[in-house]
Amino acid sequence: MSLIRMGWVALLTVMVLCGGVAWTQDGRPDARLQFSSTSFGLLVGYGQGQGVLEFQGERYPFTISGFKLATVGVTRVSALGQVYRLREVAEFAGRYVMVEGAATMVQGGGNALLRNEKGVTLYLQNVQRGLELTLGGGSFSIALTEPAELAVP
C-alpha cells in the first residue's frame, strides 16, 4: 500500500471517528459510568480495573481487562463516560474495540469512542498518570460483577 493511500485511509478513519463522537454527544446518554484501571506494556500491553455503571437508577459494578498493541509504559487511568444505545444492562458487558495513538508523560488525558458487538457505544473522557507511548489499537472486555452485599459467601 502506498504512503499516499495509507494517508487517505488514516484521514478517513479520523473523520469517521470524529463524526461518531459528534453524533454520540447529540443525544441524551442511556447510562453513565466511571472506572479506574492500571496498564503496563512492552510492545503488547495489558490493563485491568474496575468501575460502576449507573443505569435506570441502579448501580452495577463491573471489571475491565484488555490489551493494547504497539505500547510501551505504565499508566493509571481514571475515566468518566456516557453510554449510548443501552436498552438492558446485560448488553453493557462484552468486548469493546479501540484505535488509539497517545503519549503520556506524568499526566495526560483524552477522549475515546468505543463500541461493542451489541452496538452499545461508550464515550469516555479519561485522565492518565504515568509514562506511556501507544501507537496501535486494542480491545478490552467488560464483565458485570455482583455487588458485595448480594454475593453468596
pLDDT digits (tens, 9 = 90+) for 30-42: 999 999 999 888 8
**Percent of the chain whose predicted confidence (pLDDT) is above 70:** 71
Report yes or no on 135 lying in a domain: yes
Please say if the pLDDT value at position 124 is more than 90: no
Within a domain: 92: yes
Query: How confident is the model over 87-113, as a mean pLDDT?
Result: 78
Judging by beta carbons within 10 Å of its beta carbon (0-12, 13-18, 19+), is residue 13 exposed, middle or buried?
exposed
Asked whether residue 83 is assigned to any structural domain, the reply reads: yes
Whether residue 17 is contained in a domain is answered as no
Q: Are 70 and 93 in contact (CB under 8 A)?
A: no
| CATH number (domain holding residue 124) | 2.40.128
Query: Environment class of residue 37 by beta-carbon count within 10 Å: exposed (0-12), middle (13-18) or buried (19+)?
Result: buried
pLDDT band at 24 (very low <50, low <70, confident <90, very high): very low
Instruction: Residue 143: give the domain boundaries.
Output: 28-148
Residue 20 lies in a domain: no
Number of domain units in the chain: 1
Residue 44 lies in a domain: yes
Average pLDDT for 59-79: 89
pLDDT of residue 60: 96
Residue at 18 is within a domain: no
